[in-house]
Amino acid sequence: MKFGVVVFPGSNCDADCFYVLNNVLNCNTKYIWHKDTKLNDFDCIVLPGGFSYGDYLRTGAIARFSPVMSELFNFVKKGKFVIGICNGFQVLLESGILSGAMLRNKNLNFICKYVYIKVENKNTPFTKFCTKEILKIPIAHKDGNYYIDSQGLEELKENNQIIFRYSDKNGNISQDTNPNGSIYNIAGIINKEANVLGMMPHPERSSESILGSSDGILIFKSIIKWLSKR
């Protein structure tokens, strides 16, 4: 299997994602420049965190028009897998590949800290082989307040598209465990076809125990194991 990590101008987590996939998990991994449009050789593409195009206008608003994104639509339609992390999640929302939008954090500040997220749906390629229900993974964002209207939220619930919710270490979910104001404590969602994941926490920053947690690697391992069984 082969992973691709997209590099937008302003990306700053692309090297982290590449390192985890290539060096820690020993997967065939290549960088994809934002102007590249040849994606057929890849099984899974990662849109990394950072500040694509300086986050001008809105987070992800300009990256959404990068040449690679037009081909990404076709990539998704073919049933191949995409993971959008933090800014990558924002790009997926701006492009309409995932539903909803990101608002400024409720406290209007940049937040960088470890949080706990509860796996709400374990029957997805990204969570099927997670060995934990509660994951300790860091966030680092100023615009991570996920919003969707009431009808959209109900659709996410009905289709089991809500994958991660902010919780405490015991899995309790409340406003006190919500770091940014996201509706329904949502930290990550998938599309209806379950081949696109968007999440605000950074699994690549918690993929080795030396970083304070290795829970994030479970998400990458799950997709690798899923792909190996296809």
Radius of gyration of the chain (CA): 16
Active site residue 141: no
Active site residue 44: no
Active-site residue identified among 27, 34, 86, 94: 86
CATH number at residue 37: 3.40.50.880
Distance CA(116)–CA(176), nearest Å, equals: 12
* Token couple for 151: 């009808």
> Residue 56 has what pLDDT?
86
Domain region containing 209:
2-228
Active-site residue identified among 13, 34, 141, 202: 202
Domains in the chain, number: 1
> Residue 181 has what pLDDT?
98
> Residue 230 has what pLDDT?
72
Q: Are 228 and 127 in contact (CB under 8 A)?
A: no
Active site residue 202: yes
Residue 181 CB partners (closer than 8 Å, separation 6+): 103, 105, 106, 107, 145
Give per-10-residue mean pLDDT for the chain (230 aa).
96 97 98 95 97 90 95 96 98 98 97 98 96 97 98 98 98 98 98 98 97 97 92
Amino acid at 102: M
Sign for the CA dihedral angle at 147, 151, 154, 160 comes to negative
Distance CA(224)–CA(35), nearest Å, equals: 26
Q: Are 37 and 70 in contact (CB under 8 A)?
A: yes
Q: Are 181 and 92 in contact (CB under 8 A)?
A: no
Model-level pTM?
0.96
Q: Are 156 and 132 in contact (CB under 8 A)?
A: no
Residues in a beta bridge with 84: 47, 198
